[in-house]
Amino acid sequence: MDKLPSPKDYFDKFGYVILKEALPKDVCKQLTEHMFKLFDEGKLIKDEQCPLSDSVYGDPIFDDLLQKYAKPLGDHVGKNLLPTYTYARIYRNGEVLKRHKDRPACEISATITLGYDGLKVWPIFFDEEKEIAVDLEIGELALYKGCDITHWRPAFKGKWQVQVFFHYVDADGPYKEEYKDRRKQFGVDKTTAQQQKNDDQLSFPLPLFNSVIIPHADEKFPGYFCIDSNNLKELMFTKEECDKIIKIAKENYAAPASIGGGNGGMIERKIRSAEIYNVDNTEENRWIFGKMASIVSLVNKYHFDYDIAGITHSLQLIEYVSTESVKGHYEWHTDSGPGPSALRKISVTVQLSDPSDYEGCGLFINNHGSIVEGTKERGSVHMFPSYMVHKVDPIEKGTRYALVIWIHGSRRFK
């Protein structure tokens, strides 16, 4: 089974890593409003690095977040991080952030986009040789080695963009004495003697880091990919989410699963014995589609690299039961074939049942000649090219539920 590199491995090798959903969008909106309030109150400054913009050093609200982020960010990259200071800006039209590296107190830095007014977000560039452009949407974060990797932004074409920088040092590194940026306390400017009071002090949740953006290798031939507790576990479906999806089956009526659906479909229990519940994209089920779309988008970008159209039809909740005269199973088959199924690119199966609830019913995939058995870990997600031959063995006891979707594209095999 192929694995994406861990955030730590990628950070160590390339000097930066992107973390999605670092802050909820409503929190980003509050922090953007906070910055504009500081501007209206005349509490922001101009600086030499970005003279067109408005900035604040060590704001109490941002410094509080700086401390909260230290451990979760450090855990992602295998570092014991000591917070130093924060710096937030309202970037203005025409601003340029020149190519530079940071001072020792910024040994490991994070930048989060809080809000912007423009046609698209203003990219940040990393690595002077490769010139890697990174678009950080609202709530997304880039963690990078500020002293080692050159970074910059071209001329800003929007009206404004609010960005906050969290700066850290490695507690086991050469700059640990930069803790608090050598201040006596957080939430103050280096020239301020005592704590600044802020009547608008807010409490924000810790970052979610729903997924990690990491690279793929073009020369790899994509095959079976599994999300489980050993690989991108933050993307797994939780026990509560699995229970909520299974509840759909318990409250609705099923239809027998067919074969050759693209050509009219036939019921042939000897080949495929299962019950199907359609999961439509209703308001109640939209969270399922959103989560599946996030998973597919990430894994496709960095593993399959197919041209896909996304989720274009309902999900299928599959029920395999052991009490039927023909026990639940599906013989060796592919998900793509003549007709509409020719445009299926990626097959996705989510393991909803606890493995203790049934026996048998294993998922097997012919992964380029090697037979792989998918894990039965609850909430795991199995993905493979739709042309791959696979099967589900007969269920011997109990009931198994799985959520299935095929991801389509406009052109086959591309």
* Per-residue pLDDT tens digits for 55-100: 999 999 999 999 999 999 999 899 999 999 999 999 999 999 999 9
- What are residue 82's phi and psi, to 5 degrees? -105, 125
Strands (E) in 145-299, as ranges, are 151-153, 160-170, 212-213, 225-227, 255-256, 272-273, 275-279
**From 185-194, 246-255, 291-300, 342-351, the region with the lowest mean pLDDT:** 185-194
Fill in the amino acid letter for 205. Answer: P
Q: What is the pLDDT of residue 217?
A: 46
pLDDT of residue 250: 84
Task: Indicate if the pLDDT at residue 223 is higher than 80.
Answer: yes
Q: Is the pLDDT of residue 385 over 80?
A: yes
Residue 30: per-residue pLDDT: 94
44-58, 273-287, 291-305: range with lowest mean pLDDT: 291-305
Question: For 91-143, how does the pLDDT look when each residue is reduced to its tens digit (9 = 90+)?
Answer: 999 999 999 999 999 999 999 999 999 888 999 999 888 888 889 999 999 99
**Predicted pLDDT of residue 301:** 79
Report the amino acid identity of residue 162.
V
Does pLDDT of 203 surpass 70? no
* Cβ neighbours of residue 243 closer than 8 Å, sequence gap 6 or more: none
Mean pLDDT of 269-291: 91
Domains and CATH numbers, the chain: 7-212 (2.60.120.620), 221-408 (2.60.120.620)
pTM over 0.75: no
Amino acid 167: pLDDT? 97
As a whole-number percent, the residues of the chain with pLDDT over 70 amount to 90
Q: What is the pLDDT of residue 322?
A: 93
Q: What is the pLDDT of residue 243?
A: 96
Give the whole-angstrom CA distance, residue 14 versus residue 378. 33
Burial class of residue 281 (count of CB atoms within 10 Å of its CB; 0-12, 13-18, 19+): middle
Least confident piece of the model among 314-323, 343-352, 403-412: 403-412
Residue-averaged pLDDT of the chain: 88
Cα atoms in the Cβ-side hemisphere of radius 13 Å centred on 130: 10
pLDDT band at 199, cuts 50/70/90?
very low
Q: Which helix (DSSP H) or strand (DSSP E) does residue 55 occupy? A: strand 54-57
Q: With bands split at pLDDT 50, 70 and 90, how would you rate the model's confidence at 193?
A: very low
Residues above pLDDT 90, as percent of the chain? 62
Whether residue 159 is predicted with pLDDT greater than 90 in this model: the reply is: yes
Q: Is the pLDDT of residue 197 over 50?
A: no
pLDDT at 209: 66
Confidence of residue 10 (pLDDT cuts 50, 70, 90): confident
pLDDT of residue 264: 54
Residue of higher predicted confidence among 250 and 241: 241
Tell me if 20 sits within 8 A of 140, measured CB to CB. yes
| pLDDT at res. 208 | 65
Checking phi first, is residue 188 left (phi over 0); if not, alpha (psi -120 to 50) or beta? beta
Find where tokens 């940026």 sit. 181
